[in-house]
Structures are given as C-alpha cells and as structure tokens.
Amino acid sequence: MQIHPNVCHPNRMNIGDLIEVTIHDVAASGGVARHEGEVVFVPYSIAGEHIRARVTSLRKNFILAEIVEILTPSPHRVQPPCPYYGPRPTAPGVTMPCGGCQYQHIAYAEQLAIKKRQIIATLQRIGGIAEPPVSDPIPSPAPYGYRNKTTMQVDPRRQFIGFHAVDHRTPLDIERCAILAEPINQALTTYRAAPPPAERPYTLLLRMDTRGMVGSGSQVLEETVAGVTLQVPANGFFQVNSALTGELVAQVRQRVTAAGHRHLLDAYCGVGLFSIALAGQLDAAIGIEFDKHAVVWARKNARRLGHRHMRFFEGPVEAQMRAALELLPRDKTTMLVDPPRAGLSDAVLASVAAAALPHIVYVSCDFGTFARDAKFLLSHGYNLLGVQPVDLFPQTSHCEVVGEFKRAV
C-alpha cells in the first residue's frame, strides 16, 4: 500500500507551492525557517533574510524549498565566484549546482561566525554540554584556492570529467574549481585537453604538495609542516589545506606541551604527521594506523628523520591499544586521536575508557561525531577543557576542531 507523503499532515502544502519565510538560522542543509509550525530548509539562504521559496520536497519532519526571490537580503550575502555554485549555476549547460560547497554566497567572516554557532549548538544538543568552551575559529589564510587535492570522476563515454551535482547523481563537467589550488586547476586544464584513451569510467586523482608539485597515483610528494618534511604518496591521506596544516599541528603541540607529557599515543596516525612533528619534545611515541601503506610511510619518515624513539603499529586502534600502552607510562601519556569523519567506534571508545589516560587531544573533521564522542568521554571521567575550531574547509559547512580532555583526579 502506498502512503501519501501528506498522510500525517492533512493540511500540509504541496510540492511546487510558493511560501514566504524568514530565515532564522543556518544549518548544513541550508537556511532554517518555520512555516505554519513546520521546519523549512532553504539552501543558499542566510539568517535574517526574508525569502519567497518554492516547496521541493515534503519529508516527515521538515520541508525542503528552493529560493525563488530574496525579498530582504542579508548584509553578509556576496556574489559566488564559481559558475557551478547554486542555486542557479551560470556555467553553460549546467542546470544543477555542484554539491561541493555550501557557503560561497556568505562573506567569509560570517561563515566563521556561523560555524562557531553550529559547533556550540551541536555540543549542546548532542554532547549535552550546557556551556561549551568553544574559541573563535582560526581562519584560512586563503578562503579560495586552498585545497591541495581533488578526486574527479571521468566517464569517457559521456565526455565527462568532474564532480557530481548536489543530488549526488548528476555528473557535472568541471573546467576549474574555485577552491582548488591553482596548480591543480592548471593540471586539470592540461588533462582535459588530452585525456588518455579509456573505455570505462575511472577516478582521476590530482594532488599538490607544499613545493607546488602536482602528482597522482602512488607518486611520492613532499609536505613540509612546522619545519619538518614528510614524504607522502599522492593517494595517501593528508590534510587538504596546506596553509593551515602547520597551525593545526601547533594547536596539538600547544596542548601536549601544556600537559607536560613526553609520551604520545597517536591513534589514526596516518603517515605520522602529528607524532613526527612533535618528535623533538617527546621521549617516546607510538602511532596506530589501520592503513598498511600509511604505516609504511610513517616508518620511512621517522627513520629518515632519525626518530628512533617512535614506533608505528598496523591495525585497528582498539586491537593495538593494549600492546601500545604496555610500552608507555600511562600517567605520563597523552592520547591523540584523529579519526575519520565517522568518529570513534564503540569498541575504540570502550578501549579509551578502559585505558583511563590522563589527557586526550581529539582532532576531528566532523563536529557532530566529535560532540557524540565528547558526551561519552565526559560520562567516563573526563572534563572538556576547550574546543578550537580550525577552518580547513572554507566555503563549505565543514570545520576541523581540536578538543582537549583531561581526566578528573
């Protein structure tokens, strides 16, 4: 039996209806408004704007709408420089906006303010923290042209090299991307002029190192951070905003130094960015990483730089923690975690709680899962000392955060 989407709302509006709303907040899904008691999300809008919008989707708990006319614009509204950006792209033949950016229509200073408000609200709602200690975000030196890596889809049958649209399905042929570093855009232009022959769709990876060299595949690049040069394969994980990676390391170093610990357990260590950058102030460090190729390069980097007091374990964090902690004094060890966007698994959280280390520094690219994990840590004897946002992802709704937790005595 098919259920009509309005069955729970007999007087609900229909798709295509025009409504007027005032935006009172901004979420990842767009500006937030209310209409006749229901929540309405309007992408590409800003708090304070009065908008005429068209209903595009009716969901159980909210409504999606698109901008028809901005009746009262925000003073923070700016003209997006990207022709693929929404709500109505200007690139020839493009009818649906790219899904990569969400905030190009907002002045950068206001983007930072929005992200701080979102982080605070998320920690309150998900983390259960009444007054989250969140500092002002550290801005990116370059709000555009900062991204040192791109992964594009190539379909030679449809002559398509680019990304997917905001619907995650429609292909967008992209000539250049406003948030990519210029050398990558230049490499993309060269590639588009003479792509290699192929019969099947494939993925194109382009990555630039701090020397400005663009590579792809397993080609080895060099990343110099805080005076330390690491070798990284182009297809390996590394922070995408080179101009702010040093600041991210500095934020971690500041907290490890203040704690007075000279031993580090670096979980999700990748190629060893944080532990190797902090090597000079540590007596011992152990990194744990599931990606065996990243572990190979972490070991190579440590060995090349003469850091004999560092070891790297391959495998899941929860499986390797016990062995790692047998080699470190628990009362003098800081644990650093930099997990993927999904945050810490239940098994890892249980291992962290059982280890009862005195100090944890948590680097996160998703403040929603960070808030969830913060709630767990606070319920297991830790206090949240502070949260420092670092805006590695301008023009998007994402933001890196560095959180610090101290175990209550």
Active site residue 177: no
- Of all residues in the chain, what percent carry a pLDDT higher than 70? 97
Compute the mean pLDDT over every residue in the chain, rounded to the nearest whole number: 94
Least confident of 12-16, 129-133, 211-215, 235-239: 12-16
User: In what helix (H) or strand (E) does residue 310 lie, and over which residues does it extend?
Assistant: strand 310-314
Residue 370's closest CA among 396, 394, 390? 390
Beta-carbon count within 10 A of 130 CB: 7
Assign 212 a pLDDT band (cuts: 50, 70, 90). Answer: very high
Cis bond upstream, residue 87 (ω within 30): yes
What is the longest distance spanned by two Cα atoms in the chain? 71
Please state whether beta strands 359-364 and 333-337 pair in parallel, antiparallel, or not at all (unpaired): parallel
Segment 266-285 shows an average pLDDT of 96
Question: What 3-state DSSP class applies to 172?
Answer: strand
pLDDT given at position 11? 61
**Strands, E assignment, 98-193:** 149-155, 160-164, 171-173
pLDDT tens figures, 34-82: 999 999 999 999 999 999 999 999 998 999 999 999 999 999 999 999 9
Q: Which two tokens stand for residue 177?
A: 């991307």
Write down all domains in the chain, each with its CATH number in brackets: 18-72 (2.40.50.140), 113-141+223-407 (3.40.50.150), 149-217 (no CATH)
Question: What 3-state DSSP class applies to 16?
Answer: coil
Query: What is the C-alpha to C-alpha distance for residues 406 and 133, in angstroms, rounded to an integer?
Result: 14
Q: Is the pLDDT of residue 1 over 80?
A: no
Segment 107-135 shows an average pLDDT of 98
Q: Is the pTM of this model over 0.85?
A: yes
pLDDT given at position 10? 52
- At 300, give phi and psi (nearest 5°): -60, -45
CA dihedral in degrees (67, 72, 75, 78; nearest 10)? 30
pLDDT given at position 2? 40
Q: Which of 82, 101, 177, 365 is catalytic?
A: 365
Q: Are 383 and 409 in contact (CB under 8 A)?
A: no
Q: Is the pLDDT of residue 279 over 80?
A: yes
Q: Which two tokens stand for residue 121?
A: 């609200």
Q: How far is CA 66 from CA 52, 57, 175, 369, 382, in A?
A: 9, 10, 26, 28, 43
Assign 217 a pLDDT band (cuts: 50, 70, 90). Answer: confident
Q: Are 390 and 248 in contact (CB under 8 A)?
A: yes
* All residues at 6 or more sequence positions from 192 whose CB lies less than 8 Å from its CB, including other chains: 161, 175
* All residues at 6 or more sequence positions from 29 whose CB lies less than 8 Å from its CB, including other chains: 41, 43, 64
Segment 196-203 shows an average pLDDT of 92
CA distance between the termini of the chain: 59
